[in-house]
Amino acid sequence: VQFVESGGGLVQPGGSLRLSCAHSTIMVSFNVMAWYRQPPGKQRELVARIAANGRTDYSAFVEGRFTISRDNAKNTVSLQMNSLRSDDTAVYYCNVFPMRNDLWGQGTQVTVSS
């Protein structure tokens, strides 16, 4: 069973989006959860992660703009993205950290363009 991501779309530079992901059996509260992204023509990269104890880490290119969070009751992980830039355009995925290849979902497309 794969993760299911949602919340992507087209947004203007400087705008915001909130992504969400869910899984039917993986307990987000027990795992290090992460958001990854794959920009056009590039490799997939780590964006942010949240540990079971709530500690968060961010890649330098999103630090201060994105916030990862977890809702244990709903078993979901979210990514609040503010001050979006054109180079944030990518397909965004969630997965555990370290990633598991069997859990990749379809991702959600985020396009930042005027």
Task: Check residue 20 and give its pLDDT.
Answer: 97
Peptide bond just before 98 cis, omega within 30 deg: yes
Q: What is the mean pLDDT of the chain?
A: 96
Q: For 39-73, write each residue's pLDDT tens digit.
A: 999 999 999 999 999 999 999 999 999 999 999 99
* 100: its two tokens: 């598991």
Task: Check residue 88 and give its pLDDT.
Answer: 98
Residue 26 zone, left/alpha/beta (φ > 0; ψ -120 to 50; rest): beta
Contact between 17 and 11 under an 8 Å Cβ cutoff? The reply is yes
Least Cα distance to 4 among 18, 20, 26, 28 occurs for 20
DSSP 3-state of 25:
coil
Mean pLDDT of 6-20: 98
Residue keyed to tokens 């009751």: 73
Least Cα distance to 110 among 17, 2, 26, 13 occurs for 17
Q: For 71-104, write each residue's pLDDT tens digit.
A: 999 999 999 999 999 999 999 999 999 999 999 9
